[in-house]
Amino acid sequence: MPCFFGIDIGASFTKLALYTEGNRYISDRFETGKLSPRTLLRKIGKQIRELREDLCSNDRGAIGIGVPGFFNRTTGKIIRLTNLTGWQGIAPTTVLSHETGMPAYIENDANLFALYVLFHELKLMRTNAVCFVLGSGIGGGIILDGKVYIGTKGFAGEPGHIIIHMDGEPCGCGKRGCLEAYVGGLALEKIAKKQLKRTREPLPYDFHFYPDEIYRLKDRHEAFNTAISISQKALAIGIANMVEIFDPEYIFIGGGFLSQYPEFYRRVFEVTRGYISSPRRRIKFRLVKHSEQAVVKGAIFLAKTKSEEEKDD
């Protein structure tokens, strides 16, 4: 059986995974920031060579790579990655192909999340869906007629930077009022701090502004309650705007942001319905559970589909 490897390059950790014969799932991870990009890629390449020798047949197989940011679709070279430096101009596909002798394909991590949803949740159904991935910020992917839509230059599906508030809060991208200025770990911390200045509520001296901590204390602190409501309302507006444009059958949400608290999202979905025009209100909302492996699994699907497409040509 040929082996298809998936790689998810993240700001803190890089994941490597594969399915072997009998559908056994194997995964490994590397600390991203501690190594230079080339050293990291070479280390992954070595690991792939070893796994392949132990577990895979000599058939060629392929590698799929997910990156948190933009790359050139012709050369595969990285343009910019979120929260990662030193990657500009590097083509992970070229380095890994060289290291392993296998073809490698690259895609934006949120599009791979959408690909995972398409394979795993939708079972390749020919339908329309919009996916939101929430962590420290927001990524997204669009599924149209059973295919992940990437746009003209591959940059489609960036719900984090649709403007939901005229002259609103500043966003990391340089604009104001983006969805990402209200939702995600970084935004929630900022909003909670702003609200605390207003209410002047005392906090434990060692309090950390993690989303889960803010959510846990929302019934005890008015500032946190308000911050959570602002975030929920903003996310609901963002989802409703995407629904008005794409008229999807499904909305999928995954990622680490408040994933321990499905009631946060249940409330978001309730509020969203109020913002959607009536013919679209039958939309199906789905939370993607255990989505921490979604991108790396999406990368495996990418490797498989791309290499099959090339075989057919």
Name the residue nearer to Zn ion (CB basis): 7 or 178: 178
# residues near Zn ion by CB under 5 A? 5
| 24-31 sheet: strands from edge to edge | 24-31, 13-20, 4-9, 62-67, 104-108
**Residue 304 binds to Zn ion (criterion: CB under 5 A):** no
Nearest approach in angstroms of CB 187 to Zn ion is 10
| E-assigned strand segments in the chain | 4-9, 13-20, 24-31, 62-67, 69-71, 78-81, 104-108, 129-134, 138-144, 147-149, 250-254, 284-287
**Residue 162 binds to Zn ion (criterion: CB under 5 A):** no
**Residue 176 binds to Zn ion (criterion: CB under 5 A):** no
Name the residue nearer to Zn ion (CB basis): 161 or 297: 161
Choose the binding region for Zn ion from 127-135, 170-178, 235-243, 296-304 (rule: CB under 5 A): 170-178
d(Cα 176, Cα 170) in Å, to the nearest integer? 4
**Residue 273 binds to Zn ion (criterion: CB under 5 A):** no
d(Cα 55, Cα 257) in Å, to the nearest integer? 35
Of 114, 118, 171, 251, the one binding Zn ion by CB under 5 A: 171
Choose the binding region for Zn ion from 4-12, 116-124, 168-176, 262-270 (rule: CB under 5 A): 168-176
Residues constituting the chain: 313
**Residue 161 binds to Zn ion (criterion: CB under 5 A):** yes
**Residue 178 binds to Zn ion (criterion: CB under 5 A):** yes
**How many CB atoms are located within 10 Å of the residue 26 CB?**
13
Nearest to 299 by CA among 12, 11, 14, 2: 14
Name the residue nearer to Zn ion (CB basis): 178 or 294: 178
**Which stretches of the chain bind Zn ion, using CB under 5 A?**
161, 171, 173, 175, 178
